[in-house]
Amino acid sequence: MDDFEKAVFFSFDQTGAVSAQLKAQAAAYCEQAKRAPNICQACFEKFRLSQYAEVQFWCLKTLEEVLQQRYRTLESQERLFIRSSLMLAFCNFNLDDPSVADPGIPMSSRPIFVRNKLAQLIVILIYIEYPAEWPGAFLDMLNSLSKGPVVVDMFIRVLNALDEEVISFDFPRTEEESAAATRIKDSMRQQCISQVVAAWYSLIVMYKGQSPQLASQVLEMMQKYVAWIDIGLVANDRFVPLLFEFLVSPNEYPQLRGAAAECLLAIVSKRMDAPSKLALLQQLQAGKACSTIMEEQEPEFALKLTALLTGIATEVLECSKKIEVNGVSDQTLALTEMVTAMLDEVLPPVFYFMQNGDEDMSTTTFLFLNTYVTRMKNSNPVNGKQATHLGQILSVVFTRMRYDPTYEDSLDEPDKSGLEEEGRMAEYRKEIMGLFRSINRVAPEVTRAFVESTLARVLQDSNAGFEDVEAAVALLHLLGEGVTEESMKPGGGSLQDMVGAFLSTSIPRHSHRLIAMMYLETVTRYVKFVQFHADYTPRVLAAFLDARGMHHPNPQVSSRASYLFMRFVRVLRIQLVPYLDNILQSLEDVLSAVTSPKPVLKRDADDRSYSYEAIGLLIGMEDLSVDKQATFLSALLVPLCGQVEAILSSDEVKGDPVGPIPITTSLQQIIMAISYLAKGFGDHLAANGRPIIGNMFKQTLDVVLRVIPVFPKNKVLRSKVISFLHQMVETLGSAVFPALPTIIQQLLTDCEPKDLVEFIQLINQLINKFKIGMMDILQEIFPSIVGRVFALLPQDGIPEGPGSLTEELRELLDLQRNYFLLLHAMTTQELSAVMLTQQSSRLLQNIIGLLLDASCNNKDVLVRKICVQVFNKLIADWCGSSREEEKVPGFRQFLVERFAADCCIYKVLEPSFNFRDANTVSLFGEIVTALKLMYEKCGNDLLMHLATKVLPAVHCPPNLAEQFCLHIQRSDVKELKALYKSFIEKLRPQQQQNGHVWSR
């Protein structure tokens, strides 16, 4: 190894064995070598003789820089030297010629990345010189192919590199590159493409036996060129029989089959008019050939074969679409018959390989199958042959949506592999189920018949595998999407007969986790059937109550069953009254488990709480007597309240403001259980109709309100208590008022932005429910709320922009938005006078200032809309006519000089005010309403200020300003909205020419 080779080695080092200083010296040495006047000769000599791949690559990389940066400036003699040297390397340095002395290192012993780089250099030279300066580029290569497989390999690499670097549009190209690609293709078509294609054929025939891998490489390269060469060069009596010979000969040509399939796919995918494409497809008879190999295939080949079949079928459908556009004629009828015959030929192998291949194979056919099914929408109803095809597709759907039976145990008691399989299958089923839905829309009767026969076959087989049972039940569940009430009534048709048979049948392998969950999901989807066929109620109810549902040993099934049971009860409340005692008795242990300290997953705990909601829905009905209702409710609430009191008085929690996690988690679950239970009781019952029920919930409220003082720093518990209070507002109605001072005092103490958001949301609920009844309470608490909001929000605004949106800032934005929603609720419910009390009036300037800033500048258009709506209510409430005494001194002047100018004119003229955005259009409607309201209240003061101050500032011509003011005065909101938009479109160009008033 000489010094130059050492320098290259050191500069390429990635191991760390070479010091940084030595590596830098080596790199500098190599850079200096590049500047030598004879660098091209030196590089070719080193490339020819050096046995080190790193040196070979460095030489080619340096030559690449010469070609790209200064080749056109070289003398013609030097350019000729470079070309001949590259071709010498291409020809393996003429190693086949015994007269050549010291020819160098053979190309076959050089690594692939070196050979690929050499091919790229030849392509760069073709890009620069072909055809003007090097017209014989391709003919030179063709004439060298007789030198053996090493040169053939280089020929293939050059053509692959030419496609990748120049011709293919799979990569973005500049205008210059696209022009070069066109020049090269056109020249090849005129000069040599027929010889190139003939060489492909000869090489494939020559090497199919002695070097199948090389023949396969020719085929793989060839399919890249089919798109732009004359199709007759490959779709002929020489190539096509050869390709099909490879395709159907698994033993003789195993390495060539996949490449042959890809070549045929390229041929059938070539763009052409419909009659020509159909003639080509008929000539190929690929479907007929493929139908002879409908047997299990090696997976990689099967995938390529399926892609070929799908490609043929897709092309046939595309031809069909084009034919239909041309209307009816003798030619189109003949072509339509040809399409039908071709589909009949190609569909059976498509279905076979989709049903028997792996997942990837079936994925490649989904697009075609969806297209094929969609095409049938025009055939109403579908004919017999189409119905048969749809049945075959449904059979494929059923086969493909089944779980792998080898995962049965891992899916029943999920381990890592089971969970991965379940997640993978959930994603995979999305496409399958989409196809099922398409078929059901096109041919509902065919779909129902298939599901019914599949369900009957599988459920009657006591030895059926879990994967078959789960998939069959899943099909019935899927069929029930959007099921109508009429179809579930007696005499409603075949679907209700199928559901009745399903509910009457014992399900094989029912205890398996996936089957148990799918069964309950399906029962819940068809709950309307049970509503209209009450005799099925005991059977279905038992499935929820026993080991198939809420007593299933798997916690995921039992918790999901609790949620689904709540939905089931919500529909059948009255129908379940006769079974209430049995339900309560069966669920006693389930209800106890919900509030037990035993740790469970949060999702499972949340779902189990729905069992309390289900019970609340049942015992909260007025159909129960007062005594029975009170007995049931007391039996549930007293133990829950007792658990809360026991925890709060426990020595373990004293002095700990956060509390031990196991204890506080149990407390959260108890509070959730009470909240869910209360959902079954409306205020008409608890507060008015049956006071004893209301008193029970009031006592419960008193107990739960003791939680926050004991655990003032526990944010999760605080949130649970607030959620509980939301429910108590709905359950107790105005009876919750006496507890509000205590609640408010607790919740406003030491609250952070997230806490204050939850509190404001509670106040908004109270305002929207009790309206003017909240006046006294709001007058007392509103100053504290506003003071706390302004203390938390930054005085100079919330920073926004890339990278600035931290979790803390998100909470502040949420607080700001909910604060504006509070003002919106107050003004909407006639409570704006709260802001004018003596305590609140000192904050009024800040309130209005922040409201104006948000209505103009908030990044969220919906927040701006809320703020403008608040202003509109304040205009109506606080502004009398121009002759009346003002309720709020200076407010009318503020509206005219600030709100009308900044929000209603300047901000609307900004380019960022986008009329193509639906939310912005909605905001614009509120702004137009504001202009009309201000005119009604402020009269000519508004028009005068707009005409003399605001509109001249935005370079509005006087005549246009006069028209705009006249329209504010005379047009209704709808007319003004259209006119104002037109006004803006006329003014915006003025802003671009003269500058924006809001930016100066």
Q: Which ranges of 829-910 would DSSP assign to H, the alpha helix?
A: 838-841, 844-857, 861-878, 891-894, 907-909
User: Are the CB atoms for 403 and 470 separated by under 8 Å?
Assistant: yes
Average pLDDT over residues 894-916: 93
Q: What confidence score (pLDDT) does residue 291 get?
A: 65
Region of 860 on the Ramachandran plot (φ > 0 left; ψ -120 to 50 alpha; else beta): beta
Give the residue ranges of DSSP H helices in 401-443. 408-412, 416-442
What average pLDDT does the chain have?
A: 89
- The pair of three-digit structure tokens given for residue 761, joined into one six-digit string: 């949301």
pLDDT digits (tens, 9 = 90+) for 750-774: 788 999 999 999 999 999 999 999 9
438-482 pLDDT, tens digit per residue, is: 999 999 999 999 999 999 999 999 899 999 999 999 999 999 998
Give 43's Cβ-side CA count (13 Å radius).
26
Residue listed under structure tokens 């050979």: 115
Contacts of residue 876, Cβ cutoff 8 Å, sequence gap at least 6: 933, 937
Q: What percent of the chain has pLDDT over 70?
A: 93
Q: What tokens does 65 get?
A: 């820089």
Burial letters for 791-810: b for 16+ Cβ neighbours within 10 Å, e otherwise? ebbeeeebeeeeeeeeeeee
Q: Quick check: 957 and 965 in contact, CB under 8 A?
A: no
- What is the pLDDT averaged over residues 395-401? 90
Residue 295: predicted pLDDT: 67
Question: Over 60: is that where the pLDDT of 882 sits?
Answer: no
Query: Residue 151 and residue 122: Cα distance in Å, rounded?
Result: 13
**pLDDT attached to residue 362:** 58
- Round to the nearest angstrom and report the end-to-end CA distance of the chain: 71
Q: What number is the average pLDDT over the span 780-786?
A: 91
Q: What is the pLDDT of residues 505-519, one digit of tens each?
A: 999 989 999 999 999
Confidence of residue 845 (pLDDT cuts 50, 70, 90): very high
Is the predicted pLDDT of residue 580 greater than 90, yes or no? yes
pLDDT at 538 over 60: yes
pLDDT band at 23 (very low <50, low <70, confident <90, very high): confident
Q: How many helical (H) and strand (E) elements, i.e. helices and strands, does the chain have? A: 53, 0
In terms of pLDDT, which residue wins out, 100 or 853? 853
- Count CA within 13 A, CB hemisphere, residue 160: 16
Mean pLDDT of 146-173: 93
CA 279, 290, 317 angle in degrees (round to 5)?
45
Joined together, the tokens standing for residue 491 give 């005499």
| Contact residues for 619 (Cβ-Cβ < 8 A; gap 6+) | 580, 629, 632, 633, 636, 680
Q: Compute the average pLDDT of residues 575-600.
A: 87
Task: Rank 368-372, 633-637, 683-687 by mean pLDDT and report only the highest.
Answer: 633-637
> What gap in Å lies between CA 605 and CA 595, rounded to an integer?
9
* CB atoms closer than 10 angstroms to residue 510: 16
Highest mean pLDDT pick, 25-34, 322-331, 355-364, 629-638: 629-638
The pLDDT of residue 287 is: 65
Q: Mean pLDDT, to the nearest integer, of 19-27?
A: 86
Q: Which of 942, 912, 940, 936 is nearest to 924 (CA)?
A: 912
In DSSP notation, 306-336 reads: HHHHHHHHHHHHHHHHHHHHT-S-HHHHHHH
Kindly state the average pLDDT of the residues 635-658.
92
3-state helix, strand, coil in the chain (%, to 5): 75, 0, 25
What six digits make up the tokens of 810? 């998100």
| pLDDT of 827 higher than 60 | yes
pLDDT of 334 strictly over 90: no
Name every residue whose Cβ is closer than 8 Å to that of residue 107 and which is 6 or more positions away in sequence: 89, 92, 93, 115, 118, 150, 153, 154
pLDDT of residue 337: 78
Which residues, 6 or more positions from 294, have their beta carbon under 8 angstroms from its beta carbon?
A: 348, 349, 352, 353
- Write the CA distances from 626 to 269, 309, 424, 459, integer angstroms: 76, 71, 52, 46
The tokens describing 461, both together, are: 């087989």
d(CA 613, CA 569): 9
Q: How confident is the model at residue 998 (pLDDT cuts 50, 70, 90)?
A: very low
Q: What mean pLDDT comes out for the span 532-559?
A: 95
| pTM of structure | 0.77
Tokens of 654: 């004293």
Instruction: Name every residue whose Cβ is closer than 8 Å to that of residue 494 and which is 6 or more positions away in sequence.
Output: 448, 449, 452
Indicate the pLDDT class of residue 999, thresholds 50, 70 and 90: very low
**Quick one: pLDDT at residue 728?**
94
Alpha carbon distance 913, 839 (integer Å): 38
Can you give the pLDDT at residue 288? 66
**How confident is the model over 229-273, as pLDDT tens digits?**
999 999 888 998 899 889 888 778 888 989 999 999 999 888 888
**Dihedral angle computed from the Cα positions of residues 635, 640, 645 and 650, in that order, rounded to the nearest 10 degrees:** 120
- Give CA–CA dist 577/624, Å, rounded: 8
pLDDT single digits (tens) 405-451: 999 999 999 999 999 999 999 998 888 899 999 999 999 999 999 99
- 281 in Cβ contact with 316 (< 8 Å): yes
How confident is the model at residue 1000, as a pLDDT?
35
